[in-house]
Structure 1
Amino acid sequence: MKKLIFGILTFCVFSSFAQKKQLDELTFDDCQNSAFFQKVKNNTNVLRYTAADGSLLEIGDTLVIGVPSGSITATTAVGAGNTVGVAKARSRTKSSFTTIIMGRPVGFGSIMNAMAGEAPENAGANMQGEIVVISEMKVSHKGSRKKPLALTILLGEPNGRAFGINKYMSVVDYEKSVLGGEIRSLNAPMTRDEAISKLKESKELLDLGLMEQSEYDKIKQELTPVIMEQ
């Protein structure tokens, strides 16, 4: 009995210590550097993260939910008239996010779903365009300790309310989510395609006489390095 009590107390102390794991600064390159990531424990909190695209993420920053890149097909059986024992299968496919789920990634609801053999609920297409706030950031290995780190972000509503019945949403792998167009940072550097699009738009305004030549030249000077370097 004493051993059991000691074991429980040790676990509680360890859990309390584990909750204090924290990195003030982290970069995408750190997450890929084996000399660094092998020293990092799973579920380590991160206060400031520099992403692969150069954008800086901090607790309290706002992000924008992008476009869902996946789909879910649900099949239900429906009766065929009044014929007893005869039914037809009806399938319905709807868009959903592949890297954004409802709730916490390791929350109580997710644990109960896992025990029931169910996968976490993916965010639906209705979340597209939502403005969300970074409530928490953590990193964990993509498998064993020898695997790189993935950044998980807990998302909250700007007004502190819930997303329907869920208090939070979660991005299970931020970098994958960005690559898939499912989420973006408001302070992310302009991409080459965005720079080209803006330059074309500015040229059209110049040709229509709605922009001064000096203003166009300034925009072109700013955008040219972005277009040429990527």
Structure 2
Amino acid sequence: MKKLMISLLFLSFTAIYAQDEINELTFKDTQNSEVFEKISNNTRILKYTSADGSIFKLGDTLVIGTPSGTITNTTAAGAGNTFGIGKAKSRSKSNFQTIIMGRPAGVASIMSAMAGEAPQNADASMQGEIVIIAEMKVAHKGSKKKPLELIILLGEPNGRAFGMNKYMSVVDYEKSVLAGEIRSINAPLNRDEAIAKLKESKDLMDLGILDAAAYEKIKAELTPIILNKG
């Protein structure tokens, strides 16, 4: 009987992760081989808990951060003094390394790839944009025995387009967070942010804007984060 129960539990667990849609997934799940090996590429996720503890679902809001990369374009600028050699001008501009324009695997992307063109990375003009989560999917970082990465399709809050593109895509959410290119509005404070907030609260108390009781309450909330005991 015990063996039968274990078998039924195993089959139920396998069935859950064999679906095309998962109600809830965590970052720990994406790194756990007992879980991610049972999940197929392009499985839709309805709710996700990230490595920093942020919890979000479809329709929630994210903010585009700061581009972490640069792209350099070099163009000819006429002939030089030496025969056969022309002058060239190079111009560098910031761009996002983990955010691309459009869908990550749409028809246009496939056609561009066949033509030898890389997907268009979002440029610095997208910095600070408020976006909504239109879709979340996971894909293996290689074979099915590799961990999963979360891919997020981003929409414009009012249903408008980002220039020529209806959507943008975060190709690896956790990597994007580490690069500072995307952030969740409800993300927990990190240590540096907690220290800054505590200092600000102390200044407000010294100015008489914040009373001592309120400051002590804030201090009690932030101390575990600052001491890495959260």
The interval holding the TM-score normalised by the smaller chain is: 0.7 to 0.9
1:126 is matched by which residue type in structure 2? S
Instruction: Name 2:223's counterpart in structure 1.
Output: 224
Please state whether the residue corresponding to 1:45 is helix, strand or coil: strand
Using the size of structure 2 for normalisation, the TM-score is: 0.88
Identity across matched positions, percent: 70
Query: How far is 1:36 from its partner?
Result: 1.0
Match of 2:57 in 1: 58
| Residue type at the aligned position of 1:171 | V
Superposition TM-score, scaled by structure 1 size: 0.88
CA shift, 1:141, in A, is 0.3
| Letter of the 1:138 counterpart | K
Partner of 1:24 in structure 2?
Answer: 23
For 2:60 and 2:215, locate their aligned partners in 1 and report how far apart those are by CA, in whole Å: 32
Post-superposition Cα deviations, 1:162-218, rounded to whole Å, max 9, x if no partner, equal: 000000000000000001110000111111111100000111122222221122112
Q: How big is each residue's C-alpha offset from its partner over 1:62-96, in whole Å with a ceiling of 9 and x where there is no partner?
A: 00000111110111111148999652111111000
Give runs of aligned pairs for residues 76-155 of structure 1, distance below 5 A.
76-80=75-79, 87-155=86-154
Residue of structure 2 in register with 1:200 after alignment: 199
Partner secondary structure for residue 118 of structure 2: coil
CA distance in 2, matches of 1:115, 1:65: 29
CA distance in 2, matches of 1:75, 1:103: 25
The letter of the residue matching 1:156 is G
C-alpha deviations, 1:96-139, integer Å up to 9, x for none?
A: 00000000000112111101111100000110000000000000
* Counterpart code for 2:145: K
Regions of 4+ moved over 3 Å: 80-86
Whole-angstrom CA distance in 2 between matches of 1:218 and 1:24: 36
The gaps in structure 2 that reach 5 residues or longer are 1-18
Aligned pair count?
211
Structure 1, unmatched stretches of 5+, are: 1-19
What is residue 45 of structure 2 aligned with on the other side? Answer: 46
* Cα root mean square deviation, aligned: 1.7
CA distance in 2, matches of 1:41, 1:23: 11
Q: In structure 2, how many angstroms separate the alpha carbons of the residues matched to 1:65 and 1:141?
A: 24
CA change 1:144–1:210 in 2 (3 A) is: same
